[in-house]
Amino acid sequence: MWKKRIEIKPDAERVIKDTERASRQTFDRAVNLLGYKPRSVVELRTRLMEKEWTNSAIVEEVIQKLEGYGYLNDGQFAKDFAASQLRGKPIGKRVLQQKLAMKKLDKETVAAAIEATFEETPEAEVIERAIAKRLRLKGKPETREDTKKFYDYLLRQGFSYDLVSSKMRELNSREFDEEN
Protein backbone atom coordinates (compact mmCIF):
# COMPACT_ATOMS: atom_id res chain seq x y z
CA MET A 1 0.00 0.00 0.00
CA TRP A 2 3.01 2.30 0.43
CA LYS A 3 3.60 4.51 -2.55
CA LYS A 4 7.10 4.96 -3.81
CA ARG A 5 8.12 8.59 -3.74
CA ILE A 6 8.88 10.12 -7.09
CA GLU A 7 11.58 12.73 -7.09
CA ILE A 8 10.21 16.00 -8.37
CA LYS A 9 12.73 17.78 -10.56
CA PRO A 10 13.11 21.56 -10.45
CA ASP A 11 11.75 23.60 -13.36
CA ALA A 12 15.29 24.32 -14.61
CA GLU A 13 15.75 20.61 -15.46
CA ARG A 14 12.43 20.29 -17.29
CA VAL A 15 12.42 20.74 -21.06
CA ILE A 16 9.02 21.46 -22.58
CA LYS A 17 8.92 21.51 -26.37
CA ASP A 18 5.19 22.06 -26.89
CA THR A 19 3.64 24.13 -24.08
CA GLU A 20 0.13 23.86 -25.54
CA ARG A 21 0.29 20.06 -25.52
CA ALA A 22 1.86 20.00 -22.03
CA SER A 23 -0.90 22.28 -20.76
CA ARG A 24 -3.60 20.05 -22.26
CA GLN A 25 -1.98 16.89 -20.85
CA THR A 26 -1.63 18.48 -17.41
CA PHE A 27 -5.27 19.55 -17.41
CA ASP A 28 -6.41 16.09 -18.50
CA ARG A 29 -4.28 14.47 -15.79
CA ALA A 30 -5.69 16.85 -13.17
CA VAL A 31 -9.28 16.07 -14.14
CA ASN A 32 -8.46 12.37 -14.17
CA LEU A 33 -6.90 12.54 -10.68
CA LEU A 34 -9.88 14.49 -9.34
CA GLY A 35 -12.17 11.91 -10.93
CA TYR A 36 -10.70 9.20 -8.71
CA LYS A 37 -11.11 11.16 -5.49
CA PRO A 38 -11.32 14.75 -4.28
CA ARG A 39 -7.93 16.27 -3.47
CA SER A 40 -6.57 19.39 -1.85
CA VAL A 41 -4.74 21.95 -3.99
CA VAL A 42 -1.36 20.96 -2.55
CA GLU A 43 -2.01 17.24 -3.12
CA LEU A 44 -3.02 17.87 -6.73
CA ARG A 45 -0.05 20.18 -7.35
CA THR A 46 2.33 17.51 -6.03
CA ARG A 47 0.79 14.79 -8.17
CA LEU A 48 0.90 16.95 -11.31
CA MET A 49 4.54 17.90 -10.76
CA GLU A 50 5.51 14.20 -10.74
CA LYS A 51 5.43 14.23 -14.53
CA GLU A 52 8.45 15.59 -16.36
CA TRP A 53 6.43 16.91 -19.30
CA THR A 54 5.02 19.80 -17.26
CA ASN A 55 6.37 22.65 -15.13
CA SER A 56 5.18 24.76 -12.22
CA ALA A 57 3.84 27.58 -14.44
CA ILE A 58 1.61 25.16 -16.38
CA VAL A 59 0.49 23.43 -13.16
CA GLU A 60 -0.44 26.78 -11.57
CA GLU A 61 -2.38 27.75 -14.69
CA VAL A 62 -4.31 24.45 -14.58
CA ILE A 63 -5.02 24.83 -10.85
CA GLN A 64 -6.33 28.37 -11.41
CA LYS A 65 -8.58 27.08 -14.19
CA LEU A 66 -9.91 24.22 -12.00
CA GLU A 67 -10.56 26.63 -9.11
CA GLY A 68 -12.45 28.86 -11.53
CA TYR A 69 -14.61 25.93 -12.61
CA GLY A 70 -15.27 25.06 -8.96
CA TYR A 71 -13.50 21.67 -9.15
CA LEU A 72 -10.90 22.69 -6.56
CA ASN A 73 -11.86 24.32 -3.27
CA ASP A 74 -9.83 23.49 -0.16
CA GLY A 75 -12.49 24.80 2.23
CA GLN A 76 -15.24 22.64 0.75
CA PHE A 77 -12.88 19.67 0.39
CA ALA A 78 -11.96 19.87 4.09
CA LYS A 79 -15.62 20.10 5.19
CA ASP A 80 -16.67 17.18 2.99
CA PHE A 81 -13.71 15.07 4.09
CA ALA A 82 -14.37 15.77 7.78
CA ALA A 83 -18.08 14.95 7.44
CA SER A 84 -17.33 11.73 5.58
CA GLN A 85 -14.80 10.65 8.24
CA LEU A 86 -17.40 11.17 10.97
CA ARG A 87 -20.06 9.26 9.03
CA GLY A 88 -17.72 6.32 8.67
CA LYS A 89 -16.43 6.03 12.22
CA PRO A 90 -16.97 8.03 15.39
CA ILE A 91 -13.74 9.96 15.95
CA GLY A 92 -12.86 13.01 18.01
CA LYS A 93 -11.51 16.40 17.06
CA ARG A 94 -7.86 15.50 17.59
CA VAL A 95 -7.86 12.52 15.20
CA LEU A 96 -9.91 14.44 12.65
CA GLN A 97 -7.42 17.30 12.83
CA GLN A 98 -4.54 14.88 12.20
CA LYS A 99 -6.29 13.33 9.20
CA LEU A 100 -6.98 16.74 7.69
CA ALA A 101 -3.40 17.84 8.29
CA MET A 102 -2.22 14.78 6.35
CA LYS A 103 -4.16 16.17 3.38
CA LYS A 104 -1.76 19.14 3.43
CA LEU A 105 -4.38 21.75 4.26
CA ASP A 106 -3.54 24.97 6.07
CA LYS A 107 -4.44 25.32 9.76
CA GLU A 108 -7.22 27.89 9.24
CA THR A 109 -9.00 25.65 6.71
CA VAL A 110 -8.67 22.64 9.03
CA ALA A 111 -10.01 24.61 12.02
CA ALA A 112 -12.97 25.94 10.01
CA ALA A 113 -13.83 22.46 8.70
CA ILE A 114 -13.67 20.90 12.17
CA GLU A 115 -15.80 23.67 13.64
CA ALA A 116 -18.41 23.32 10.88
CA THR A 117 -18.49 19.54 11.19
CA PHE A 118 -18.92 19.52 14.95
CA GLU A 119 -21.60 22.23 14.71
CA GLU A 120 -23.65 19.82 12.60
CA THR A 121 -22.87 16.82 14.80
CA PRO A 122 -21.77 17.76 18.34
CA GLU A 123 -18.81 15.85 19.73
CA ALA A 124 -21.01 14.61 22.61
CA GLU A 125 -23.20 12.79 20.05
CA VAL A 126 -20.18 11.34 18.31
CA ILE A 127 -18.70 9.97 21.54
CA GLU A 128 -22.10 8.45 22.41
CA ARG A 129 -21.94 6.54 19.10
CA ALA A 130 -18.40 5.40 19.90
CA ILE A 131 -19.45 4.24 23.37
CA ALA A 132 -22.50 2.41 22.03
CA LYS A 133 -20.40 0.67 19.38
CA ARG A 134 -17.75 -0.38 21.91
CA LEU A 135 -20.44 -1.68 24.31
CA ARG A 136 -22.02 -3.70 21.47
CA LEU A 137 -18.68 -5.25 20.57
CA LYS A 138 -17.05 -5.77 23.97
CA GLY A 139 -19.91 -5.49 26.47
CA LYS A 140 -19.85 -3.49 29.67
CA PRO A 141 -16.46 -3.22 31.35
CA GLU A 142 -16.45 -5.65 34.28
CA THR A 143 -13.06 -5.05 35.83
CA ARG A 144 -10.96 -1.99 36.48
CA GLU A 145 -8.64 -3.11 33.69
CA ASP A 146 -11.56 -3.34 31.23
CA THR A 147 -12.65 0.16 32.23
CA LYS A 148 -9.12 1.47 31.65
CA LYS A 149 -9.04 -0.16 28.20
CA PHE A 150 -12.40 1.42 27.36
CA TYR A 151 -11.12 4.81 28.54
CA ASP A 152 -7.90 4.46 26.53
CA TYR A 153 -9.87 3.41 23.44
CA LEU A 154 -11.94 6.62 23.57
CA LEU A 155 -8.80 8.73 24.03
CA ARG A 156 -7.17 7.02 21.02
CA GLN A 157 -10.24 7.88 18.95
CA GLY A 158 -9.35 11.54 19.48
CA PHE A 159 -11.87 12.60 22.10
CA SER A 160 -10.74 15.10 24.73
CA TYR A 161 -9.77 13.91 28.19
CA ASP A 162 -12.53 15.97 29.87
CA LEU A 163 -15.24 14.63 27.56
CA VAL A 164 -14.10 11.02 27.99
CA SER A 165 -13.94 11.43 31.78
CA SER A 166 -17.45 12.85 32.01
CA LYS A 167 -18.93 10.20 29.71
CA MET A 168 -17.20 7.38 31.60
CA ARG A 169 -18.51 8.74 34.93
CA GLU A 170 -21.96 8.95 33.36
CA LEU A 171 -21.65 5.37 32.10
CA ASN A 172 -20.52 4.11 35.50
CA SER A 173 -23.37 5.93 37.29
CA ARG A 174 -25.88 4.40 34.82
CA GLU A 175 -24.47 0.94 35.58
CA PHE A 176 -24.72 1.66 39.32
CA ASP A 177 -28.36 2.82 38.93
CA GLU A 178 -29.24 -0.31 36.92
CA GLU A 179 -27.79 -2.58 39.63
CA ASN A 180 -29.96 -0.95 42.40
What's the gap between Cα 67 and its chain centre?
Answer: 20
| 112-166 per-position pLDDT tens digit | 999 999 998 898 899 999 999 999 998 888 888 988 999 999 999 999 999 999 9
DSSP 8-state code for residue 103: T
Instruction: Output the pLDDT for position 9.
Output: 72
DSSP 92-114: -HHHHHHHHHHTT--HHHHHHHH
Quick one: average pLDDT of 20-37? 92
pLDDT, tens digit (0-9, with 9 covering 90-100), for 90-113: 999 999 999 999 998 999 999 999
By percentage, how much of the chain surpasses pLDDT 90? 61
Answer left, alpha or beta for residue 160, where phi above 0 means left and psi between -120 and 50 means alpha.
beta
